[in-house]
Amino acid sequence: MLEYIKKLVDKNKWVMYCVSLMIGLAMGIINPLATTHMARNNAGDILVGIISSTYFLFMAIGSVYVYKKQRGRDLRMLMIFALAMAAVSSVIFPLFTNFILWFLLMSLMGTGISLNMVGIQTAMHKVTDSENKALVSGIYSFCFAFGFVLSAVIGPAVYENISWMAFLMGSLGLCIAAFLVYFRLKNLLVIPENDGEKTEEREVFSKITLALLGAFAYGFSETTLVSLYPLFMSRLNYSSVQSGYALGIFIVGSIIGTIPVSYLADRIGRKKCLTLVISVSLIPIVGIMVFDNFIAKMIFSFVAGFTVGPIYPLSLALSVQDLTGKELISGTAFFTFAYGIGSTTGPFLSSVAMRYLGNKYIFSITLLFFVSMLLYMIGESIRLRKKAKNEDLEQYDESLSNGGLIE
């Protein structure tokens, strides 16, 4: 047992978990409080939505930059610079009321977080045994979610008293992450060269299509929830306290579900486990939209968190399990890109659905993506079974042609 636990934290994986915790602390402050700060300084809803989405858009763009421009290089100093850039942008954000400067600062923060995520996740999977990838991803996601929840609870209270102090907390989290990267992750963040062999992007993409769909769907649903769930609840005449409880219980469910589901995935198969959580998650998502009773919404929110939360670590593990060492950076970059695009489009498309279809349709597009993803997984399963059957028939025919029947 001790040997198994050691595999989960050795080779400086515990440092990567700590970095994830610090990034979670920062992100739990940056995006929600940046939105609050802009709204209180008379920014319109559309402008707030555009500037907030910029954060995730540049998170996606940053992942492409690492993949295209940083092969064969040690990402450590770049990550430290990116984290410092994001830290400075965070601490000065509340000092300005200019929309263009807000846009620029959110772009810099999104880019800085992105470079860190790609580097840390690539290094983490490089030093993780194949049989533990889902659980290690689960612990990484658990640390991130715990930090996010902690800052999401403390941050608003601090902001109400001293606005700049809340953003300083996020900045300190990023600075601690930079120190950890500098002092504890030496020689682990080198992106391998291709040695003259061109890695086909289509080949990598085909190996991780399901993981990318999972990353997109999770980013879409997560940011929709964080951005629009309070608005959804307020339009049903619930108080801000009740809205906070509903959002909080979802996040608690996500935290509780992440590690056990990730552990189960390493035992029964990650694709099978992802299919299971996607299937079960459809029930609470529909329940949240259909039932207006507060207790029912709390129960469905918890179950939704328990099933939706593990989608990220399961998809992250799937994004690298079939890749070679040289393809890891491609898989991680594509994964972060898909997550960033999902996070960018989620609040916008869901708000459009709420406006034109009605408030209760908040998760209608999320539901559509989840059903589409489930149908894709079922189709892939059928295709692989047919392929395996055809291969068995070909081997049987070959044995007959070689005299296997006579023997």
Q: Are residues 149 and 297 in the same domain?
A: no
* Phi-psi category of residue 188: left, alpha or beta, with phi > 0 → left and psi -120 to 50 → alpha: alpha
**DSSP reduced 3-state for 74:** strand
What is the pTM (predicted TM-score) of this model? 0.82
Number of domains present in the structure of the chain? 2
- C-alpha 367, offset from chain centre: 18
**Where is average pLDDT lowest: 75-79, 84-88, 243-247?**
243-247
Q: Are residues 141 and 225 in the same domain?
A: no
Q: Are residues 250 and 176 in the same domain?
A: no
Q: What is the CA radius of gyration of the chain?
A: 22
Q: Are 214 and 94 in contact (CB under 8 A)?
A: no
Q: For the chain, how far is it from start to end, CA to CA, in angstroms?
A: 50
Mean pLDDT of 114-126: 81
Phi–psi pair at 346, nearest 5 degrees:
-55, -60
- For position 150, what pLDDT does the model report? 82
DSSP string, 329-389: HHHHHHHHHHHHHHHHHHHHHHHHHHHHH-GGGTTHHHHHHHHHHHHHHHHHHHHHHHHHH
Q: Are residues 134 and 258 in the same domain?
A: no
Residue 188 per-residue DSSP state: S
- With a cut of 80, say whether residue 336 has pLDDT above it: yes
- For position 284, what pLDDT does the model report? 92
The domain boundary residue, chosen from 190, 209, 234: 190
- For position 407, what pLDDT does the model report? 42
Q: Which domain holds residue 48?
A: 10-190
- Whether 114 maps to a domain, the answer reads yes
Q: Are residues 106 and 209 in the same domain?
A: no
C-alpha 40/C-alpha 163 separation (Å) is: 11
DSSP string, 237-263: T--HHHHHHHHHHHHHHHHHHHHHHHH
Q: Are residues 37 and 179 in the same domain?
A: yes
